Amino acid sequence: MKLLVGLGNPGAKYARNRHNIGFMAMDRIAADHGFGPWRARFQGQVAEGRFGSTKVTLLKPDTFMNLSGQSVGEAMRYLKLDPADVVVFHDEIDLAPGKVRLKTGGGHAGHNGLRSIHSHIGADYDRVRLGVGHPGHKDAVPGYVLRDFPKADEAWLDDLLRGIGDGIPALVAGDGARFLNAIALRVAPPRSSTSTPKAKPDTPPEPSLADDRSPLQKLMDRFK
């Protein structure tokens, strides 16, 4: 069994915030794979489904970001899971927008949601780090992550979430590389190898050399 956790803040006010990209990922997975309806449980919202023989519970904590660990810890204990069975999806300011990285264990890097989870279940869980970019200065980070994604980001964000939906069965099966590849195919699809290469411009003819011989010289050269 796997517990997939998306981090964010509950309520319509925060729904499109960069900080809520984890919630967005859970909603996409549930919609794409026909998971059961969301219902209140474990101080959050849960939806259940399967990938093959593996049962999966999706969790969106209702505790607000700073207390996410309360919800995750309660769910993990009730479901009798180990930290290794938990995968947390969260916003990552140290990655460019649309970039995704997988990580197991390690520090929380100041992310308050991860900090809370660390305090309740330890650090030995898996993370899906979803790049949202950096505002450029650490003092601007709180306001940056609590603002909505701008319209200019909607295209790559939609591609990213669709890629997560495509690849999540592979991640649950333990194939992280295939999961990341599914996202890459959405975010940066390969160019067709059958496309016609652009024609090279014709090379202009070299200019002819001017003939500056005198008429007498030309006549003499004919009889050489």
Which active-site residues does the annotation give?
19
Q: 197 is written with which tokens?
A: 């290469």
Beta-carbon contacts of residue 208 (< 8 Å; ≥ 6 apart): none
| Amino acid identity for residue 108 in this structure | H
Helix (H) / strand (E) containing 187: helix 176-187
β-bridge mates for residue 126, sequence order: 87, 104
Strand 86-92 versus strand 126-131 pairing type: parallel
Q: What DSSP letter does each residue of 122-145 carry, written as one string?
A: -S-SEEEEEE----SSGGGHHHHH
Give residues with Cβ within 8 angstroms of 192, minimum separation 6: none
Q: 179 and 127 in contact (C-beta within 8 Å)? A: no
Residue 12 token pair: 């319509």
